[in-house]
Amino acid sequence: MAKLWGGRFDGKNEAWIDAFGASIPFDQKLAKQDLIGSLAHVKMLIHTGILTKDEGEQIIAGLKTLQEKLAKDELTFTIENEDIHLNMETFLHQEIGPVAGKLHTARSRNDQVATDMHLYLKEVLTEVVAKIHHFREVLVEKAQEHIETIAPGYTHLQHAQPISFGHHLMAYYQMLTRDEQRFTENMQRADISPLGAAALAGTTFPIDREFSAKELGFSQVYQNSLDAVSDRDFILEFLSNASILMMHLSRFCEEIILWCSHEYQFVELTDTFSTGSSIMPQKKNPDMAELIRGKTGRVYGDLFGLLTVMKGLPLAYNKDLQEDKEGMFDTTETILTSLDIMSGMIATMKVNKERMLESTQKDFSNATELADYLASKGLPFRQAHEIVGKLVLQCIQNGHYLQDIPLEAYQAITPLIEEDIYEKLDSYTAVLRRHSLGGTGFEQVQKQIDAAKAQL
């Protein structure tokens, strides 16, 4: 079949080479945006008098028919027509005849595809921001339930100091807040119209780029036609933001996976978010959390794929840019589903409060309390640290904990230690007393949650 761009070609084409060059198997995802972009372009051509009203209206009617057919899934794309743009142009010919050929006046597929990508990403960003927002709500609600749930806080994955489990959840809330900000800011770079840059240099036709931009809901137009057709920063930014988001989700999933293990037993996921084993009847595996951790790799891959595509590209359009699509689609699907899973998984997760508390009572995570106690009574902190360190060693040798040492024994070491030490050594009190701004004290966590509720 003759190509729409086939005028200067007389050699025959090979189907397998055409297939290699085609993007229609994946860029058909842009069908909706492509039609919207064409509608704005033809309205601009009428507005500027480049096309007559009659010609323009025939094209508009044709494009609207295609919109209806697309909605009813009645368009069959073909690989011979290479990409979404040439497929649509062919359909338009079939609808309205040769006047369809006038649509491409003062436009190239280069500014057309860039326009489609901007429109597509704008929609995606809105959806991503909404889903992150929802997940933040879930986190705040869960944190509110667990302000006074005492959990071990870790450094180096070793018990460090007891914390409020609500505080732990709110740490993820804070990360997700930054993620939401980043995707929101991404919108500024997606919200620019490349339409009218034409192939690379603009056009001799008296087009009105502001007009078509407004039609499409873009708040700005690219100021440089070369940049307009070769910029993919807005997608790279999206993939970077998505990579950071997935890194956050993956860290959270890693913790959930640990917490579900027999050694921890801190949480239990509902059956919906778990799977069994085909051989071991007892198994309940946190597969969804593992998959989100795993899928983080493909999102990083999508970012690195596009960064690598871009790094050597001379201006302006190069066919390499066709490789911007699959990664963006893949990342979109991955993060939208991952966010849904996270929201559902956390909202329904059962927290084993007793088990968490218990694990802060049979450990030395109250050692800092004792050192702080001595320091608050005037002993230099370094000296207090040394004394407590030695005590911990003795306890380990004798098989008990700091709270098991009798008062006489404490006072033999230093009379600074009095009866009130036992209350201070209690993990609940240890958390309660951490009043410093942003600390894990219950009041501070409540403040953090209140601020989050106000933000949301």
CB-count burial class (<10 Å; 0-12, 13-18, 19+) for 170: buried
The catalytically annotated residue of 219, 261, 277, 376 is 277
Cα angle: 219, vertex 83, 235; to 5 degrees: 40
Measured CA to CA, the distance from residue 3 to residue 13 in angstroms comes to 10
Q: How far is the CB of 199 from ligand ARG (least distance, A)?
A: 7
Nearer to ligand ARG, 84 or 192 (CB): 84
Taking residue 395's Cβ as centre, other Cβ atoms within 10 Å add up to 17
277 is catalytic: yes
Q: How far is the CB of 144 from ligand ARG (least distance, A)?
A: 47
Q: Which amino acid is at 183?
A: F
Q: How far is the CB of 354 from ligand ARG (least distance, A)?
A: 57
Nearer to ligand ARG, 299 or 321 (CB): 321
Give SS3 for 159.
Answer: strand
Q: How far is the CB of 331 from ligand ARG (least distance, A)?
A: 17
Contact 101, 44 (CB under 8 A): no
Q: How far is the CB of 326 from ligand ARG (least distance, A)?
A: 11
Instruction: Report the chain's terminal Cα–Cα distance, integer Å.
Output: 56
Nearer to ligand ARG, 5 or 381 (CB): 5
Nearer to ligand ARG, 88 or 132 (CB): 88
The per-residue DSSP string of 380-448 comes to -HHHHHHHHHHHHHHHHHHT--GGGS-HHHHHHH-TT--TTHHHHHSHHHHHHT--STTSSSHHHHHHH
The DSSP secondary-structure symbol of 11 reads S
Nearer to ligand ARG, 27 or 180 (CB): 27
What does the block give as tokens for 411? 């006072």
The catalytically annotated residue of 41, 104, 134, 156 is 156
Residues within the interface to ligand ARG (CB under 6 A): 23, 27, 83, 109-110, 113, 317, 319, 321-322
Measured CA to CA, the distance from residue 113 to residue 37 in angstroms comes to 9
Nearer to ligand ARG, 12 or 319 (CB): 319
Measured CA to CA, the distance from residue 196 to residue 213 in angstroms comes to 9
Q: How far is the CB of 27 from ligand ARG (least distance, A)?
A: 6
Give SS3 for 244.
Answer: helix
Measured CA to CA, the distance from residue 202 to residue 437 in angstroms comes to 56
Would you please indicate which residues are annotated as catalytic (active-site) residues? 156, 277
